[in-house]
Amino acid sequence: MNIKFIFPFFLLFFVSACSASGLLDLTVPSGGALFADDFSNAKSGWGSAQAQPGQAGYADGAYRFRIEAAGVNFWSHPGRSYTFSRTEVDVAPVPDTTPGRMGLLCRLVDNQNFYFFVVSSDGYFGIGKTKEGQANLLGMEQMARHEAIHTDGQVNRLRADCIADLLIFYVNDTLVGSAIDSEFERGDVGILAGSFEQGGVDILFDNFVVYKP
């Protein structure tokens, strides 16, 4: 499924997954884990896909997006649903591949409505919202540089807090930005990776965890 997106304009390739979220978000205490996946089990529910722009799926104990086309974004989600969430993941580009973007999703209502938190391989971040297939950054005109983001191919630990109308983004335990929006109240979480002007982006995700704030 291809969807118009922005920043700059690119296409989303949706990787479907099917899994049910139980009552954990009601019974787990604050700070407890609601969901975790180290991607060691290829049947844990994130799905896989292969198409002309690239591919997504489990690989060597991680989840991998390989994007061959320019201006394309792949994303996947485990099929959960949360009102408040604190989502974390380790992410890194495969060595000697084209720089790209990588990040987290929260309150994914459907494939055209969700919040996103992204960093680029050259040290920029953005917080945004996709509504009816159109995406915009929230509280910023363009992605901003931050020194907390590793740009040398090392792992970045990303954290996205979605609490009431607050959207808070941390990178490597450092607060890099925040935004306010109240439109989406509940939805899935997920991961994404994308290319800019060139294809050849190769991104690995690992140690995905959702905590109750």
pLDDT digit string (tens) for 162-210? Answer: 999 999 999 999 999 999 999 999 999 999 999 988 999 999 999 999 9
> How many CB atoms are located within 10 Å of the residue 159 CB?
21
- Read off the pLDDT of residues 72-128 as tens digits, 9 standing for 90 and up: 888 899 999 999 999 999 999 999 899 999 999 999 999 889 999 999 999 999 999
Neighbour-count burial for 127-158, b at 16+ CB within 10 Å, e otherwise: bbbbeeeebebbeeeebeebeebbeeeeebeb
CB atoms within 10 A of CB 26: 8
CATH homologous superfamily of 2-211: Exo-inulinase; domain 1 (2.60.120.560)
pTM over 0.85: yes
Q: Is the pLDDT of residue 70 over 60?
A: yes
* Alpha carbon distance 134, 149 (integer Å): 26
Instruction: State how far the Cα of 29 lies from the Cα of 192, in Å rounded to an integer.
Output: 28
